[in-house]
């Protein structure tokens, strides 16, 4: 019973986060999240990880959330966004 409750809470939390956004911004962000994995290896990794869990929409939302995190970090730092190579263990 606890696992189901956690899953439902997680789904509701995610959905409520999305519902709070401006609808136009939400649409643009989701469309950007669909294209971003083709251009950014780090976002592609996030997308693939979520796809392995079996839900394409969840994968897109994970990328959208990461895009928002990038945008907030760029805004806070007042520096231009730069794509860096993902960390690779030697």
On whether residue 40 sits in a domain, the answer given is: yes
Q: How high is the pLDDT of residue 5?
A: 45
Q: What is the mean pLDDT of the chain?
A: 78
Q: Is the separation of the CB atoms in 33 and 57 below 8 Å? A: no
On whether residue 13 sits in a domain, the answer given is: no
What's the mean pLDDT in 33-62? 93
Q: Is the separation of the CB atoms in 61 and 14 below 8 Å? A: yes
Task: Tally the domains of the chain.
Answer: 1
On whether residue 83 sits in a domain, the answer given is: no
On whether residue 7 sits in a domain, the answer given is: no
- Domain limits for position 49: 22-77
On whether residue 28 sits in a domain, the answer given is: yes
Structure tokens at 35: 């294209």
Q: Is the pLDDT of residue 21 over 90?
A: no
């Amino acid at each position: 019973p606890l696992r189901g409750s956690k899953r439902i809470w997680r789904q509701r939390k995610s959905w409520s986060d999305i519902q709070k956004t401006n609808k136009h911004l939400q649409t643009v962000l989701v469309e950007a999240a669909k294209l971003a994995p083709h251009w950014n290896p780090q976002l592609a990794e996030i997308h693939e990880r979520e796809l392995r869990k079996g839900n394409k929409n969840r994968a897109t939302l994970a990328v959208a959330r990461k895009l928002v995190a990038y945008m907030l970090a760029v805004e806070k730092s007042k520096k231009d966004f730069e794509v860096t190579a993902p960390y690779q263990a030697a």
